[in-house]
């Protein structure tokens, strides 16, 4: 692939801007600075720098973010900062089908919910992960207002009726880890589902954190607001 196209595909600007970065000597390959925008490179395992910033070629891009509280999963937030401001500009500017769209969140978490959030520019991956047909389990750590009891746990496992659907919605797994700590596993994603399910059994969510999607857990060393690439082993864990 031409070096100019590499930069463009990774979100470093229009083709003209990318060519200019190269011609100005602001792009370096492992062999050194390259000023030829038409230079052909092998993209597999390609590492380069732009204005001294290290980058690895990813096509498509898959990443995880530790979503902090007080952020919205929206490109146009209404009241809170967008999660997309936590990402470097190239990830927000990656082109898709001729338009600048950047990576997109795989599903959403409420502004007060923290934890594991996936982002990608792979539309098929987003559809597969969000589709209820694939039953991808998501694990939530729930802090409740009132102490939990066995009756509440059993009702969540058996299924509760929410106001928008007469069919009961059941947790795939449910465990009272501590008197005020519920670990809840869901395989579908209805609007405010965890909060509404907990309310349906007579309790209330005071804190909500997503700790796992499929076989992929949120790393202990990834602080709120930080992100990292998903590797092949991570993607395999998501697929189960």
The residues annotated as belonging to the active site are 110
Separation between Cα atoms, residue 20 and residue 27, nearest integer Å: 10
Q: Environment class of residue 232 by beta-carbon count within 10 Å: exposed (0-12), middle (13-18) or buried (19+)?
A: exposed
Q: Cβ(56)–Cβ(47) under 8 Å?
A: yes
How many Cβ atoms sit within 10 Å of the Cβ of residue 42?
8
Number of H helices, E strands in the chain: 7, 17
Helix (H) or strand (E) holding 209: strand 205-213
Separation between Cα atoms, residue 191 and residue 194, nearest integer Å: 9
């Amino acid at each position: 692939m031409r070096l100019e196209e590499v930069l463009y595909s990774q979100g470093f600007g229009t083709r003209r801007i990318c060519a200019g970065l190269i011609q100005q000597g602001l792009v370096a390959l492992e062999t050194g600075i390259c000023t030829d925008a038409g230079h052909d490179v092998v993209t597999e395992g390609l590492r380069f720098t732009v204005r001294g910033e290290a980058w690895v070629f990813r096509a498509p891009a898959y990443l995880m973010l530790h979503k902090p509280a007080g952020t919205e999963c929206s490109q146009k937030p209404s009241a809170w900062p967008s999660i997309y401001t936590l990402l470097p500009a190239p990830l927000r500017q990656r082109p898709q089908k001729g338009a600048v769209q950047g990576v997109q969140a795989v599903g959403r978490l409420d502004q007060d919910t923290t934890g594991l959030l996936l982002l990608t520019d792979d539309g098929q991956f987003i559809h597969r992960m969000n589709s209820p047909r694939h039953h991808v389990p998501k694990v939530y750590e729930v802090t409740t207002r009132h102490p939990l009891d066995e009756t509440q746990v059993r009702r969540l496992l058996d299924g509760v009726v929410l106001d928008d659907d007469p069919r009961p919605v059941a947790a795939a797994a449910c465990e009272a880890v501590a008197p005020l700590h519920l670990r809840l596993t869901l395989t579908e994603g209805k609007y405010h589902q965890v909060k509404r399910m907990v309310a349906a059994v007579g309790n209330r969510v005071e804190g909500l954190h997503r700790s796992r999607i499929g076989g992929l857990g949120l790393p202990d060393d990834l602080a709120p607001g930080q992100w990292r690439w998903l590797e092949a082993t991570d993607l395999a864990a998501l697929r189960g």
